[in-house]
Amino acid sequence: MLADAKPRFPPRSHLFAPCSFEIPISFEIPILKKPGQLFQNNMAEIQRSERACRDNERKFPSAPFVLELRRAPQIAIAQMPTLLAKNAEILVTMDGQRRELKNAGVYVEDGFIKQVGPNEELPAKADTVLDLSGQIVLPGFVNAHHHLNQTLTRNLVAAQNNNLFPWLQAQYRIWARTTEEASRVSTLIGLAELALSGCTTVFDHTYLFKNGNNVDCQIQAAKDLGVRFHASRGSMSLGQSQGGLPPDDCVEDEAFILKDSERVIQTYHDASPGSMTQVVLAPCSPFSVTTSLLRDSAALARQYKVRLHTHLCETRDEERYTLERYQLRPVDWMETHGWLGDDVWFAHAIHVDDDEIRKFAQTGCGAAHCPCSNMRLGSGIAPIKKYMAAGVKVGLGVDGSASNDASNILLEARQAMLLARLQIGLLPPDGPRKYFLLSQSHPVRANEWMTAREALELATLGGASVLGRSDIGSLEPGKCADFFSLDLHTIGYAGALHDPVAATLFCAPQSAKFTVINGKVVVRDGEVVTMEMKPVIETHNRCASEMANALEI
């Protein structure tokens, strides 16, 4: 940054040029970023960080565009990076017609899809070319609920065989020891595992900010890895002495929570198409936050037009808690505080009745279905097929890695499909009593079956809808270039290629061959290529051990 450099603005027409343009400047290049719109440059040395842009915003508050000034070579060519992914054996678009194309590919400019179609119709060249022969390409999956920091306490012995409340109580104080270093590496581990399973957009719900943990380091980790990230400034404010579940030393002061929430939104939230970073306000749960924090968080979120999220209707224990404390069921309690709306989605949403499902549909509330966690903790089975029939937005979440204990979104989609099927065996069909003895395969019950394509839709378009994004979830011109591929010619898929699309869920989850996010290759040949992961794993294991050992777990 040249502190004394005088900012200069090229003509606006340059900023919106559809293809390359030259900037013949002798010693400085103004890199322009209209709020929310990033102009990529193909020179690695002038790649900028969001943080530097924020500095510029403060420095040049009246500038029509954000400036970042850096030393540069004598002449720079600024052009949109392109990527061509071709020769896919099959490509699942998830577009309006749900087209599945054979021998097809995607052409990408500047992080956005320019063309989707048969190989012969795509441009012949690009800066990066991926040959996806023998592979299936799917839109990048969206993870709608996670706690990345919990990779530090996977498979904790004291929390292996209990349901939610005792499981939480076994871990709160360990999580409270999360340092900034531990937070960064656990975020990287979780995001990398997700990217390796085809996930390209991740919502994370961190709510325990003690001992140096902060949202900033998580956002930076996601940028470094290259994953599209929706961070939460989560919170807990209701300690045990006030009737909450978490210990008092694990909750924060409400005034500080709100102040820091505002800071995080102002610093990082980008609502523009193609955004790589968004912020969500996410008080943790009915049994760990006060009513005033719920109300104030909703007001703040709406002031800044960011989304709201919390856990709801996860267990019968929670239902008992709100009935005893507030004389209301969880959904009614949330409604009294302005928490039903199309800017809200709830994690789990298992224990709901038909009226509450209708209420979600009418108000536009979404749900993040987390089948692995729900089975692991014995929480119950969310009525996903009923939600879908009612028009409720549903996405998938792997939930915290301490209750999964994986961050594998392809596995989660498979479990969503399987768990919905188990539910058919546990419950009689809706309707007259004469239906009760109907076979599960009776035509009257056909709609109760979740198909592989429905589960794939939850993982893509469904997740995008609960996060409020119309620019991800499908492969269409104008959408973000987020997709992944799976090698169909492996042992795991052998014999299942009558229907390769369904094979991705009926067969055991395989690792992504390629994962592309924002037009950039993050996973290549089954390996994360944006970062050396081995040292991250080492540091992660050291941090996990230090945290657990400190409490003699």
Query: Of 391, 385, 458, 444, which Cα lies nearest the Cα of 419?
Result: 385
Stretch that binds Zn ion, among 108-116, 353-361, 399-407, 516-524 (CB under 5 A): 399-407
* Site size with Zn ion, rule: CB under 5 A: 2
Closer to Zn ion at the Cβ: 331 or 347?
A: 347
Stretch that binds Zn ion, among 16-24, 94-102, 398-406, 490-498 (CB under 5 A): 398-406
Minimum distance from residue 146 beta carbon to Zn ion (Å): 7
Closer to Zn ion at the Cβ: 205 or 513?
A: 205
Q: In whole angstroms, give the CA distance from residue 52 to residue 66.
A: 10
Query: Of 543, 412, 535, 522, which Cα lies nearest the Cα of 192?
Result: 522
Residue window 435-474: x/- pattern of binding to Zn ion, with contact defined by CB under 5 A: ----------------------------------------
In the complex, residue closest to Zn ion by CB: 399
Q: In whole angstroms, give the CA distance from residue 303 to residue 324.
A: 32
Closer to Zn ion at the Cβ: 65 or 207?
A: 207
Stretch that binds Zn ion, among 9-17, 289-297, 339-347, 458-466 (CB under 5 A): 339-347
Closer to Zn ion at the Cβ: 111 or 244?
A: 244
Closer to Zn ion at the Cβ: 80 or 377?
A: 377
Say how many C-beta atoms besides its own lie within 10 A of residue 355's C-beta: 10
Closer to Zn ion at the Cβ: 132 or 370?
A: 370
Closer to Zn ion at the Cβ: 208 or 347?
A: 347
CA atoms within 13 A on the CB side of 428: 9
- Please check whether residue 107 is in contact with residue 50, taking contact to mean a CB–CB distance below 8 angstroms: no
Angle between the 254-268 and 215-225 helix axes, to the nearest 10 degrees? 30
Minimum distance from residue 311 beta carbon to Zn ion (Å): 5
- Please check whether residue 484 is in contact with residue 523, taking contact to mean a CB–CB distance below 8 angstroms: yes
List, as one string, the DSSP characters of 146-201.
--GGGGGGTT-GGGSS--HHHHHHTTHHHHTT--HHHHHHHHHHHHHHHHHTTEEE
Contacts (Cβ under 8 Å, ≥6 apart) of 484: 137, 138, 140, 141, 198, 200, 512, 513, 514, 515, 516, 523
Closer to Zn ion at the Cβ: 107 or 207?
A: 207
Minimum distance from residue 327 beta carbon to Zn ion (Å): 26
Contacts (Cβ under 8 Å, ≥6 apart) of 113: 106, 107, 475, 476, 477, 478, 479, 480, 481
Query: Of 85, 91, 78, which Cα lies nearest the Cα of 126?
Result: 85
Residue window 355-394: x/- pattern of binding to Zn ion, with contact defined by CB under 5 A: ----------------------------------------
Closer to Zn ion at the Cβ: 147 or 520?
A: 147
Dihedral angle over CA of 301, 302, 307, 310, nearest 10: 60
Dihedral angle over CA of 512, 96, 369, 113, nearest 10: 40
Residues 485-514 that bind Zn ion (CB under 5 A): none
Interface with Zn ion, residue 204, by CB under 5 A: no
Minimum distance from residue 147 beta carbon to Zn ion (Å): 6
Minimum distance from residue 145 beta carbon to Zn ion (Å): 6
Interface with Zn ion, residue 399, by CB under 5 A: yes
Q: In whole angstroms, give the CA distance from residue 32 to residue 424.
A: 55
The angle formed by the CA atoms of residues 23, 25 and 29, to the nearest 5 degrees, is: 75
Minimum distance from residue 265 beta carbon to Zn ion (Å): 21
Interface with Zn ion, residue 110, by CB under 5 A: no
Residues 341-360 that bind Zn ion (CB under 5 A): 347
Minimum distance from residue 377 beta carbon to Zn ion (Å): 10
- Please check whether residue 258 is in contact with residue 235, taking contact to mean a CB–CB distance below 8 angstroms: no
Minimum distance from residue 168 beta carbon to Zn ion (Å): 10
Amino acid at 509: P
Closer to Zn ion at the Cβ: 109 or 399?
A: 399
Minimum distance from residue 347 beta carbon to Zn ion (Å): 5
Please report, as ranges, the residues that interact with Zn ion according to CB under 5 A: 347, 399
